[in-house]
């Protein structure tokens, strides 16, 4: 039996202590004798249960890692829901390594907060773990106060107090989740069709103690379980993003997501995003051509862009580093050509992706000094300013982008959302109307340029939903 766990030499004393305790429970005084007995024959179900319980870490609680849940609730699920309202109303989500169930129940609660018609949807929400004892606790759905540490007050609306510090999850949430035992390091065929065709997979803090080879196998398995364009949530340090195959990597303010990538779009997309609900309206990738009618970054103010063979070698190296997600290296290489507005803009994107927004602002300002007619740079600058809390500056930059490009769809959308959050209803409705007008030029199934895989139909539905919310204010 291979659980996929890897204990480096520094953890040998911890491993020996755990195995000695298991040996004593099984009647063995000598640890070596117990280990020999374990390896002499295939493990029984009872032995596997004991080992998985002792060697795996079951530490979890509701809404653990709020940044990941925020991305799920405000970005990933709204886009999926908007798309599926036109095509079947189905969602499949898998919590792999769910321990005692707090994670899949948290996801179920978020879904009920987003869906106004949950009864019309076919939702598969699967929680799996190798530890059967933890799964039994998950199925019971009864938790102590420790499972609610750092949880918001509204979460308790989904629980019934039982007394003595215990709380039971309400039936309609418990019934949404299906639990099953699964070894992520075992035979993939054992899961059958249960784990196939997933829209979203959570597998966080599960692979921390896997060997590198096992991590690669597990990530490949999860890749196979996802639909094209599906999302995988992982811990920020679990996976070497540079060695991934078939995924694009996305950083959202501390949360790490992998997306089962489209073959034609290998680049790592920037994470300089508008505020909640803005459907991944990202700043343009350096590998992507500018949108029609938008001026390109220039060599110096007023001079044409030089041919590619006349650009410094560091420019292409910077682009390659950016596509690989090596943002610090890409920024360093970009700044070796500070006379190029394109390179300064790329450096700004790199710093923004790293959360270093003040440095991103400085580089974007320098780029705009060289080329004030680049609508994309003004749009990028607005995203950076919003992250820095400068809503007025963000609005001014969006209006400059729209002055330069009257058909800048994402700028209208971002401006509408900015006005919506400030309670400026009429202005929000006007910007959203302009965005909807421009969306009519696209086929609903067409992926919008610079919009992180969002289709025209999905964005249209999202805007209409926002407009409906404005009418109720």
> Average pLDDT of the chain?
77
Q: Which residues contact 319 (CB under 8 A, 6 or more apart)?
A: 286, 287, 330, 346
For residue range 184-194, list pLDDT tens digits in order: 876 543 444 57
Residue 174: burial class (beta carbons within 10 Å; 0-12, 13-18, 19+): middle
> What's the rounded mean pLDDT across residues 2-10?
49
Q: Pick from 211, 217, 70, 63: which is nearest to 150 by CA?
A: 63
More confident residue, 434 or 262: 434
For residue range 99-120, list pLDDT tens digits in order: 899 999 999 999 999 998 888 8
For residue range 222-251, list pLDDT tens digits in order: 999 999 999 999 887 677 766 677 888 887
| pTM, two decimal places | 0.50
DSSP per-residue letters across 377-417: HHHHHHHHHHHTT-HHHHHHHHHHHHHH-TT-HHHHHHHHH
Domains in the chain with CATH codes: 9-55 (no CATH), 66-260 (3.40.50.150), 308-471 (1.25.40.10)
Q: How far is CA 194 from CA 92, 139, 146, 178, 198, in A?
A: 10, 18, 31, 10, 9
Q: Are 397 and 378 in contact (CB under 8 A)?
A: yes
More confident residue, 78 or 306: 78
More confident residue, 82 or 109: 109
* Per-residue pLDDT, 122: 92
Q: Rounded distance, CA 191 to CA 184, Å?
A: 10
Res 445 pLDDT > 80? no
* Per-residue pLDDT, 241: 63
More confident residue, 457 or 193: 457
Q: Pick from 213, 232, 208: which is nearest to 222 by CA?
A: 232
Res 202 pLDDT > 80? yes
* Per-residue pLDDT, 201: 96
Q: Rounded distance, CA 47 to CA 65, Å?
A: 32
* Per-residue pLDDT, 170: 97
* Per-residue pLDDT, 112: 93
Q: Rounded distance, CA 62 to CA 32, Å?
A: 40
Consecutive H or E run containing 259: strand 255-260
For residue range 320-356, list pLDDT tens digits in order: 887 777 788 889 998 988 888 889 999 998 888 788 8
Res 254 pLDDT > 60? yes
Res 71 pLDDT > 50? yes
Percent of the chain residues topping a pLDDT of 70: 71
For residue range 349-405, list pLDDT tens digits in order: 888 878 888 999 999 999 999 988 889 899 999 989 988 888 899 999 999 999 888
* Per-residue pLDDT, 307: 43
Q: How far is CA 409 from CA 293, 375, 433, 448, in A?
A: 12, 12, 11, 9
* Per-residue pLDDT, 285: 37
Residue 40: band (very low, low, confident or very high) from pLDDT cuts 50, 70, 90: low
For residue range 140-156, list pLDDT tens digits in order: 999 998 899 878 999 99
Q: Rounded distance, CA 267 to CA 278, Å?
A: 21
Residue 29: band (very low, low, confident or very high) from pLDDT cuts 50, 70, 90: low
* Per-residue pLDDT, 238: 72
* Per-residue pLDDT, 189: 39
């Amino acid at each position: 039996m291979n659980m996929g766990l890897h204990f480096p030499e520094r953890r040998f004393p911890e491993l020996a202590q755990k195995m000695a305790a298991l040996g004593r429970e099984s009647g063995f005084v000598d640890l070596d004798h117990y280990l020999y007995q374990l390896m002499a024959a295939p493990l029984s179900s009872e032995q596997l249960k004991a080992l998985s319980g002792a060697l795996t870490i079951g530490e979890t609680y509701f809404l653990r890692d709020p940044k990941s849940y925020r991305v799920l609730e405000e970005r990933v699920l709204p886009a999926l829901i908007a798309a599926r309202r036109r095509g079947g109303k189905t969602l499949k989500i898998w919590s792999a390594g769910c321990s005692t169930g707090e994670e899949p129940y948290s996801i179920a609660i978020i879904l009920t907060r987003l869906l106004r018609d949950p009864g019309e949807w076919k939702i598969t929400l699967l929680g799996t773990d190798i530890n059967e004892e933890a799964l039994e606790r998950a199925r019971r759905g009864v938790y102590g106060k420790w499972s609610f540490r750092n949880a918001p007050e509204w979460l308790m609306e989904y629980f019934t107090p039982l007394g003595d510090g215990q709380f039971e999850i309400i039936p309609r949430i418990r019934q949404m989740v299906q639990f099953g035992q699964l070894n992520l390091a075992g035979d993939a065929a054992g899961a059958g069709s249960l784990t196939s065709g997933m829209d979203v997979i959570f597998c966080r803090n599960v692979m921390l103690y896997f060997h590198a080879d096992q991590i690669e196998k597990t990530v490949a398995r999860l890749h196979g379980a996802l639909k094209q364009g599906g999302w995988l949530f992982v811990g920020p340090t679990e996976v070497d993003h540079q060695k991934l195959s078939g995924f694009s990597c996305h950083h959202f303010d501390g949360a790490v997501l992998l997306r089962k990538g489209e073959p034609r779009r290998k680049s790592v997309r920037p994470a300089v995003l508008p505020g909640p609900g803005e459907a991944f309206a990202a700043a343009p990738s350096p590998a992507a051509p500018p949108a029609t009618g938008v001026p390109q970054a220039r060599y110096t103010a007023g001079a044409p862009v030089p041919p590619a063979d006349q650009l410094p070698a560091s420019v292409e190296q910077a682009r390659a580093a950016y596509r690989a997600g090596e943002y610090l290296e890409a920024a360093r290489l970009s700044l070796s050509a500070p006379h190029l507005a394109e390179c300064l803009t790329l450096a700004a994107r790199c710093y923004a992706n790293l959360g270093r927004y003040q440095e991103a602002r400085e580089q974007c300002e320098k780029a705009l000094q060289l080329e004030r007619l680049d609508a994309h740079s003004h749009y990028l600058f607005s995203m950076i300013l919003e992250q820095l809390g400068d809503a007025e500056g963000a609005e001014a930059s969006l209006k400059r982008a729209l002055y330069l490009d009257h058909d800048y769809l994402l700028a209208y959308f971002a401006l509408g959302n900015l006005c919506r959050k400030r309670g400026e209803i009429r202005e929000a409705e006007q910007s959203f109307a302009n965005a909807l007008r421009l969306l009519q030029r696209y086929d609903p199934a067409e992926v919008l340029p610079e919009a992180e895989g969002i289709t025209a139909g999905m964005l249209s539905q999202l805007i209409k939903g926002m407009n409906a919310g404005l009418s109720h204010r």
